[in-house]
Amino acid sequence: MRFHAPGFAALLIASAAMADDARDGIADPRFGSGGVATFTTIGTSTVSAPRDVVELADGKLLVVGRGRRSTSFRDQPAVFRLTAEGAIDSTFGEAGLFLYPEAGLTAPNGGSASSAVELSDGRIVVVGSKVSFDPFQNSGCTVVFALTANGALDSTYGPGPGPACMSFGFPFALFYDAIGNIARGPGNTVFVSGLLGSGAPGSAVIARLDAQGQFDAGFNDDGLAYFGSTFYSGMAVRSLTSVGGEIFVQGGQGGTGPAVARLAANGQLVGSFGNGGIASVDVFPGQDENAVGFDVDSDGRTALMSFTYESTGSFQVAVVRFDAAGDLDSGFNADGQHPGSVGIAYLQPAAPGNTTPTAGVAWRGTTMIAGLRPGFAVAALSEDGTYVSKFGDVATPGIASFPLGTAWFITVLRNGGIIIAGTPSTKLLKLVDDEMLVDGFE
């Protein structure tokens, strides 16, 4: 979509873009209000805790998280759709919002949606959680369901058949949502990850579901691929992706730090990647650490973020990059621009909010965009790991920070725009460079 503006306004924007101080990582004034779209209620329901933003084929945005009807005290998996400009698309669901049926799988204690994908036929497959607080055992399960392109529940899709809890055969009891992750597979198939209980033939599992949400017998015989002995699958956003038919899973590796597993299209570990199909690194030796989000580029390079909490009350944050072979990438931080070693860059607190990296990392061409928390802060790292000087604030080149709340994840759009989503309420911030603003006017 192209925008029209009075010639003088367009001239001002164009002049800024051509100036020596042209900037990237600025709020897009065409999105929401001054670059920010905030949602507390949609219709008579409340929405909160956004967990994923999906750019649809037509450029609209799908937001998943949880919501609550005005007549209920339970949260439900929630999905709503926005126009590319950040306004509620009222043609989706009920007034723009889908809430899982109150008497459905999420009874008796509710649940949430964690991620979604759009299939080639326009359907939307959502993965989320069911929670049941029994007085003797707290438990949860991963739930998978599909929506039509207009936001109606597809009663035929799922392992039930129809919407149902996804069982990997080894239940995992826990005190919080069993949040799974989802990625597009070939055709209208999807890959789903989840948690495993004791007795499983591996420490992690990936399932491939066919076009109707059933286990796909064409994948590893029964649709399930168990792997690893000490690898545990990541539960953070963006912990599962599919590139070129292969599956990448972000997680941890038996106390040695963050790890990435790479599986072939048949569900078997790619033995030439890392150590027998799993690449791992101890980023903060001797300390507990967490990997939060990752992304894989078209060349098979993997970028992820890791952090540890120190006794001083501060966080250490690092971006790690593996090459296509699962080795630490020799081209990243090779010149020591950041503290750390080749392949690992420890980010310094160069701007307010450079703390826990709950927003993860995403590729933007050859640039890595790292989301930081709180303050909706975003860092841009170039191919070699240096900060991108034109990105963000002039005083802190390479980092853009906005005092909006707590960022949870980031999405890079096809045109290079960046969406940061978080709380309070449901808040989305869109960043662009000023050349993109010029392209939006004629």
- Render pLDDT for 22-69 as a digit per residue (tens, 0 to 9): 789 999 999 999 999 999 999 999 998 898 999 999 999 999 999 999
**Distance, CA of 192 to CA of 260 (rounded, Å):** 16
Q: Where are the domains of the chain?
A: 1-30+283-442, 37-227
User: Running DSSP on this structure, what letter comes out for residue 3?
Assistant: B
| Burial class of residue 104 in the structure, from the number of CB atoms within 10 Å of its CB (0-12 exposed, 13-18 middle, 19+ buried) | middle
**Distance, CA of 69 to CA of 364 (rounded, Å):** 37
- Render pLDDT for 172-181 as a digit per residue (tens, 0 to 9): 655 343 556 8
User: Running DSSP on this structure, what letter comes out for residue 71?
Assistant: T
Q: What is the pTM of this model?
A: 0.88
**Distance, CA of 17 to CA of 23 (rounded, Å):** 7
Residues of the chain with pLDDT under 70: 1-21, 105-109, 130-141, 171-180, 195, 233-238, 253-256, 310-314, 335-340, 348-358, 374, 438-442
Three-state secondary-structure class, residue 435:
helix
**Distance, CA of 377 to CA of 175 (rounded, Å):** 30
Q: Which two tokens stand for residue 71?
A: 């007549």
- pLDDT of amino acid 407: 86
DSSP letters along 109-127, please?
Answer: T-EEEEEEEE-TTS-EEEE
Q: Count CB atoms within 10 A of the CB of residue 266.
A: 12
DSSP letters along 300-317, please?
Answer: S-EEEEEEEE-TTS-EEE
**Distance, CA of 217 to CA of 119 (rounded, Å):** 19
| Burial class of residue 245 in the structure, from the number of CB atoms within 10 Å of its CB (0-12 exposed, 13-18 middle, 19+ buried) | exposed
- pLDDT of amino acid 310: 65
- Render pLDDT for 272-288 as a digit per residue (tens, 0 to 9): 999 999 998 888 887 77
**Distance, CA of 115 to CA of 237 (rounded, Å):** 8
HEC string of 327-339 equals CECCCCCCCCCCC
**Distance, CA of 22 to CA of 161 (rounded, Å):** 54
